[in-house]
Amino acid sequence: MGEILKMNTIHDYHEFLGVKTLHPLVSVIDLSEVPPVRLARKNFGFYTVFLKDVKCGDLRYGRKMYDYQEGTLVFIAPGQIVGDDDNGTRIQVKGWALLFHPDLLLGTSLGRKMKDYSFFSYEANEALHMSDREREIVINCFQEIREELEHAIDKHSRSIITANIEVFLNHCVRFYDRQFITRKDVNNVSSI
């Protein structure tokens, strides 16, 4: 096992990627705009959701390998370790990343509901595989949040951002439910 990089803040991760921090507690990154990065095992101090548009090697999530492919969503909770050991090469990542710190959620409706989003658990070692329409919805959610981040922060920013994150996560619950119903139906048909 190699070194584990501690990413306590969103700014720490932005420095790793070489991008500008617009807000200290939340970020949406179009990863195609990021220069090539080296592989690393990272311990995040914030919630992270990756929409991977390119398979860039196996993804270790905790002590297990994560079931993900190109075009899937990967969910990481604060304190979890994800990534793979640095092998010296740099890769061009593609897709999107949504990062939000638990402090953003304090006293919000979303903060009270976070425990209900079980896909942030190490136990959920299956990524969310999406249809083209679902992927469109996810990217639209990311763009709504990003657009709000590009405005000057005001007294409404936090509630608008957390409401948009909550809408995104509720869509993900729907997509996961569809995924498991679909797989259950496929498994039932194949056993006949």
Confidence band (pLDDT; 50, 70, 90) for 79? very high
The average confidence (pLDDT) of the chain is 84
pLDDT greater than 80 at residue 65: no
Domain map (residue ranges) of the chain: 4-190
Mean pLDDT, residues 64-91 taken together: 77
Residues 22, 146: Cα–Cα separation, whole Å: 9
Confidence band (pLDDT; 50, 70, 90) for 105? very high
pLDDT greater than 80 at residue 181: no
Confidence band (pLDDT; 50, 70, 90) for 184? low
Which two structure tokens, joined as six digits, stand for 103?
């402090």
Number of alpha carbons in the 13 Å side-chain half-sphere of residue 86 = 10
CATH of domain 4-190: 2.60.120.280
The pLDDT tens digits for 19-51 are 999 999 999 999 999 999 888 889 999 999 999
